[in-house]
């Protein structure tokens, strides 16, 4: 069987400015079982010819049949499969992958073969024994001599049971002793039926071949058979080429290769992971803070109820110009009863007079907020004391010095935790009797709701603040009543009783509006934080892309070798993308942990509410994996599109 048939084969390199014709019409037939030595001066086109018949390069012109099949009709991927299944390569520079052990190097072509079935390939350990390296299996190439490295390469070329072995000056970098060993091995392989095509410029070696071809300036000038060749036993033909099938085991292999590559460059991998980690950690932490703020606002606002109107004196300034004195309405105690009587749709009104006060008790001094409140306060704010009682409206009218204290105030003034109902505290030097403890409301995100005291409104106005003016009022609207109508009616009524005309002198705000404003603010806040985090992830991603490009160009030779032994474009693409996705996902996972830790820390230190939702965790993880994909695709594509022979020649 003719394994190689060349007719009028030409090769011209088309450079930018000039064309370099290298092969000028080669006619050559090689029978199965031959051992062909190609001789010739340097630059005569030997390697070019070998690369073409080894399917690493393509001819410019002419016909080439491999094992009876015209190969010009094959696609790149099919050529890769052909190389993997039928051809073995031995290079002058050995081309072993430096990070892999001898055994792993020998095994490499199996990864790219269609069948992992034992019967379709040789056992790598057996092959290493065959080349006399049984005690060097776990050594890396840099721990082996040149001769040993080339023996590993010979073992590698055999692992997929090749029909033909191509060797380009396999002994060019070896000493005399190693040269003998290698050429002896090739001879033995030929004796066992494998066709061998070897380029050499050492005339001695032609003695091992069955045929010697001399090349000069791209033409064959002599062709002599030196001894008879055994017809090979291998009866496979290229027609039997099987297409690569995609299987799950392949993903496993890509993954293993990606892991190996990353482990081979630990520092770089760790830094890349760190970059993504920071991005993801900030994404998680920012989302936690943002959603936490939103939740805190929602909780606070919903605790107030959406059927509340707040009435407060209007703005003293309008349009940047100060209004005339008196245009700002004052709210009086009597307005509470008046509005309740005259405006329909109101179920309760709480008037307030608030300010900071100094509370002294038990030898302790504590600054807190005081709310003077009218009696409806307790029902409107759902703030009935957890122990003790509320004051009565009569006690309010009589300006009695009674106080309900919040939990934070109690803890600060009475840290011993004793029952303090009935005891006295001084508020701004006035003695007040404690009649109740306010229910615990907790922190509202930025303010401790338990850090306050509550006293009757009249007492606050007359005894503490010495004023007639309320700070503001909460108006609770009856179920079913229209908020807008009630709000208008309140303003109209107040204008009448206060003999004023300017509707802007009093401000009535709807809780639902406040709720909306606050949540839209919180949304904007989250969005801002989220975009900062997104940008840092983007930066991490670009870092990954940069590193991947560096990695591709550093590993160009490796890519060339992988392609030479049968990896197709998809194999290389996947390997690099998986590498990038792996780095990003690892960074993502660590980032999620770090970000969550950061969020917990923020809530501990700053007292902010933070909230880590499963959604934000999944989002962050998917985002990091996606970053790996998006920023890995371009470099991976560049790697996959490399031409095998260009990549191998790269230095
Ligand atoms: P040999 O192996 O016989 O020493 P080669 O086949 O490597 O020779 O090269 C033959 C000729 O082709 C040389 O003149 C070389 O400069 C040229 N050549 C080889 N590869 C390329 C290339 N990629 N681009 C341009 N010219 C090339
Ligand atoms: Mg050469």
Produce one character per residue of 332-364: b if its CB has 16 or more CB atoms within 10 Å, e if not: bbebbebbeeebebbebbbbbbbeebebebeee
Best-predicted range by mean pLDDT among 412-426, 515-529, 606-620?
412-426
Which ligand 1 atom is the nearest neighbour of the CA of 649? 23
Percent pLDDT > 70 in the chain is 93
Structure tokens at 389: 């009682």
Say whether pLDDT at 432 is over 60: yes
Query: Does the beta carbon of 216 sit less than 6 angstroms from any atom of ligand 1?
Result: no
Name the helix (H) or strand (E) containing 544: helix 511-554
Structure tokens at 408: 């934070």
| Cα 573–Cα 640–Cα 267 angle in degrees, nearest 5 | 65
CA 70 to ligand 1 centroid distance, Å: 25
Q: Which ligand is nearest to the CA of 215?
A: 1
Query: Does the beta carbon of 41 sit less than 6 angstroms from any atom of ligand 1?
Result: no
Supply the pLDDT for residue 103: 95
Q: For a pocket test of ligand 1, which of 9, 40, 43 has the largest count of ligand atoms closer than 8 A to its C-beta? A: 43
Query: Does the beta carbon of 325 sit less than 6 angstroms from any atom of ligand 1?
Result: no
Supply the pLDDT for residue 240: 60
Better pLDDT: 636 or 240: 636
* Closest C-alpha to ligand 1, atom 22: 13
Q: Which ligand is nearest to the CA of 41?
A: 1
Supply the pLDDT for residue 452: 94
Tens of pLDDT, residues 272-282: 899 889 988 98
**How many Cβ atoms from other residues are within 10 Å of residue 505's Cβ?**
22
Structure tokens at 245: 């099938």
pTM score, two decimals?
0.72
pLDDT (average), residues 141-170:
94
* Closest C-alpha to ligand 1, atom 2: 47
Supply the pLDDT for residue 325: 47
Residue length, the chain?
651
CA 49 to ligand 2 centroid distance, Å: 9
| Per-residue DSSP letter, 443 | B
Confidence of residue 359 (pLDDT cuts 50, 70, 90): very high
Supply the pLDDT for residue 232: 63
Say whether pLDDT at 639 is over 90: yes
Q: Taking Cα atoms as reference points, which of 183, 158, 27, 9 lies closest to residue 86? A: 158
Supply the pLDDT for residue 239: 54
Say whether pLDDT at 318 is over 60: no
Supply the pLDDT for residue 483: 87
* Closest C-alpha to ligand 1, atom 19: 48
Give the Cα separation of 110 and 630 in Å (integer).
30
Tens of pLDDT, residues 196-231: 999 998 999 999 999 999 999 999 999 999 888 877
Query: Does the beta carbon of 43 sit less than 6 angstroms from any atom of ligand 1?
Result: yes
Q: For a pocket test of ligand 1, which of 21, 40, 47 has the largest count of ligand atoms closer than 8 A to its C-beta? A: 47
Q: Taking Cα atoms as reference points, which of 433, 358, 445 lies closest to residue 403? A: 433
């Amino acid at each position: 069987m003719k394994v190689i048939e060349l007719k009028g084969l030409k090769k011209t390199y088309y450079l930018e400015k000039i064309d370099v014709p290298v092969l000028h019409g080669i006619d050559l037939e090689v029978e199965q079982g031959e051992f062909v030595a190609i001789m010739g001066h340097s630059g005569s086109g030997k390697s070019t010819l070998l690369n073409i018949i080894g399917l690493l390069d393509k001819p410019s012109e002419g016909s080439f049949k491999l094992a009876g099949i015209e190969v010009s009709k094959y696609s790149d991927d099919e050529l890769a499969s052909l190389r993997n299944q039928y051809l073995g390569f031995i290079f002058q520079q050995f081309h072993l992958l430096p990070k892999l052990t001898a055994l792993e190097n020998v095994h490499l072509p199996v990864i790219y073969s269609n069948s992992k079935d034992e019967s379709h390939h040789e056992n790598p350990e057996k092959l290493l024994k065959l080349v006399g390296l049984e005690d060097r299996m776990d050594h890396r190439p840099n721990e082996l001599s040149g001769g040993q490295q080339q023996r590993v390469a010979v073992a590698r070329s055999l692992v997929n049971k090749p029909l033909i072995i191509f060797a380009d000056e396999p002994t060019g970098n070896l000493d005399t002793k190693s040269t003998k060993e290698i050429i002896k091995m090739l001879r033995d392989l030929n004796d066992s039926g494998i066709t061998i095509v070897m380029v050499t410029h050492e005339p001695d070696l032609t003695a091992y071949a069955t045929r010697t071809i001399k090349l000069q300036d791209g033409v064959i000038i002599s062709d002599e058979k030196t001894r008879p060749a055994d017809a090979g036993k291998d009866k496979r033909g290229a027609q039997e080429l099987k297409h690569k099938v995609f299987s799950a085991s392949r993903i496993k292999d890509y993954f293993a290769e990606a892991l190996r590559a990353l482990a081979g460059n630990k520092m770089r991998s760790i830094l890349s992971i760190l970059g993504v980690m920071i991005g993801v950690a900030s994404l998680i932490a920012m989302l936690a803070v943002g959603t936490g703020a939103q939740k805190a606002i929602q909780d606070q606002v919903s605790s107030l109820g959406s059927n509340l109107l707040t009435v407060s004196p209007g703005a003293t300034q309008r349009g940047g110009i100060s209004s005339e004195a008196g245009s700002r309405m004052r709210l009086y105690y009597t307005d509470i009863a008046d509005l309740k009587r005259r405006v329909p749709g109101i179920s309760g009104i709480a008037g307030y007079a608030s300010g900071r006060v100094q509370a002294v008790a038990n030898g302790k001094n504590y600054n807190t907020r005081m709310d003077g409140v009218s009696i409806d306060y307790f029902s409107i704010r759902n703030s009935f004391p957890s122990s003790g009682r509320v004051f009565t409206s009569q006690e309010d009218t009589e300006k009695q010095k009674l106080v309900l204290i919040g939990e934070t105030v109690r803890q600060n003034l009475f840290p011993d935790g004793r029952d303090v109902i009935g005891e006295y505290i001084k508020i701004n030097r006035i003695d007040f009797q404690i009649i109740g403890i306010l229910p615990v409301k907790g922190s509202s995100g930025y303010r401790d709701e338990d850090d306050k005291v509550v006293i009757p409104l009249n007492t606050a106005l007359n005894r503490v603040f010495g004023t007639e003016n309320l700070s503001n009022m909460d108006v609770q609207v009856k179920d079913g009543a229209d908020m807008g109508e009630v709000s208008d009616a309140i303003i109209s009524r107040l204008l009448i009783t206060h003999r004023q005309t300017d509707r802007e002198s009093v401000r009535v705000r709807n809780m639902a509006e406040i709720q909306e404003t606050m949540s839209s603010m919180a949304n904007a806040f989250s969005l801002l934080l989220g975009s900062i985090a997104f940008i840092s992830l983007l930066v991490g991603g670009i870092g990954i892309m940069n590193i991947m490009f560096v990695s591709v160009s550093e590993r160009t030779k490796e890519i060339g070798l992988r392609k030479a032994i049968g990896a197709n474009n998809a194999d290389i693409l996947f390997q690099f993308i998986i590498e990038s996705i792996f780095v990003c996902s690892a960074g993502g996972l660590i980032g999620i942990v770090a970000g969550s830790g950061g969020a917990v820390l923020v809530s501990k230190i700053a007292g902010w509410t933070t909230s880590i939702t499963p959604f934000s965790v999944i989002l962050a993880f998917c985002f990091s994996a996606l970053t790996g994909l998006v920023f890995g695709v371009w470099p991976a594509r560049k790697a996959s599109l490399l031409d095998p022979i260009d990549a191998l020649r790269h230095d």
